[in-house]
């Protein structure tokens, strides 16, 4: 279970929302800072405007980040162009980011259903199929995204998939005795076909699990690795936790503190920076 998105030397260092400790979250200034540090992987969020333009923005509304009213999906791209993150930074377009750094990889959290339809065309125009990994906290939204793409793309597990990795499953369905059929204590009903978890994950395009640091325990990491999956922990902003997770064998860390994570990895001889062309 490999994909080009994950083929860089590990552990993978993700700049969460571009590296929100050093610049306003999901802003051009944050992304540029992370790329300048040598980050190969940027994590961000997707919403679509009312006219189908994909923007890298976390919240459904502008209230917290931009200090003004407005729901992203109900605003046109022209309306959104006047909004400013923290009062100073324009909201980036996904296509512009993919074009600006054609060697950088993007972990994309699909935050709302309207972001699904425009995504395949943006990835086609930028030829970014192998440079993205898609995730969502909604299993149904992730399924819809997979169907819309119509071709294999790296996917992180949904919460349902993560629970299956953590606790085991899917367990398959079993025929229940119908009227006149043997019941409990008699001849057991024959089970329907059951898919091993590895097959289920592969059929759904899952190549990694991305979980809070508290979930990334040694048993969880061991189980994920046995299934051929990478484990990426978020959002890790203190050095002791970074060190602990790396000692446990996580395959990637997402952080707002991009300078700190680079220093930790450098000290461990595990920093693999992007190479400028």
- Identify whether 11 is preceded by a cis peptide bond (ω within 30 of 0): yes
Q: Is 58 a catalytic residue?
A: yes
Among candidate residues 16, 33, 47, 232, the one labeled active-site is 16
Among candidate residues 33, 47, 58, 232, the one labeled active-site is 58
Q: Is 47 a catalytic residue?
A: no
Catalytically active residues, by annotation: 16, 58
């Amino acid at each position: 279970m490999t994909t080009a998105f994950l083929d860089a030397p590990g552990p993978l260092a993700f700049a969460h929302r571009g590296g929100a400790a050093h610049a306003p979250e999901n802003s051009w200034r944050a992304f540029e800072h992370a790329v300048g540090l040598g980050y190969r992987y940027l994590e961000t969020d997707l919403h679509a405007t009312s006219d189908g333009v994909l923007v890298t923005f976390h919240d459904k509304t502008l209230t917290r980040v931009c200090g003004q009213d407005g729901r992203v999906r109900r605003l046109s791209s022209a309306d959104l162009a006047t909004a400013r993150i923290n009062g100073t930074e324009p909201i980036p377009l996904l296509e512009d980011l993919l074009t600006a750094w054609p060697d950088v990889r993007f972990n994309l959290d699909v935050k709302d259903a309207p972001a699904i339809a425009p995504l395949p065309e943006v990835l086609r125009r930028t030829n970014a199929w192998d440079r993205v990994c898609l995730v969502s906290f909604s299993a149904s939204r992730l399924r819809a995204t997979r169907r819309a793409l119509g071709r294999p793309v790296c996917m992180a597990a949904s919460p349902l998939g993560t629970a299956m990795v953590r606790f085991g499953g899917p367990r398959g369905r079993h025929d229940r005795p119908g009227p006149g059929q043997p019941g409990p204590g008699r001849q057991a009903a024959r089970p329907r076909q059951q898919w091993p978890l590895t097959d289920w994950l592969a059929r759904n395009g899952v190549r990694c699990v991305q979980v809070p640091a508290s979930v990334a325990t040694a048993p969880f990491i061991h189980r994920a690795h046995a299934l051929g999956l990478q484990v990426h922990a978020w959002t890790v902003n203190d050095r002791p936790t970074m060190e602990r997770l790396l000692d446990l064998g996580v395959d990637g860390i997402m952080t707002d503190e991009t300078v700190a994570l680079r220093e930790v990895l450098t000290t461990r001889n595990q920093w693999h920076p992007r190479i400028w062309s």
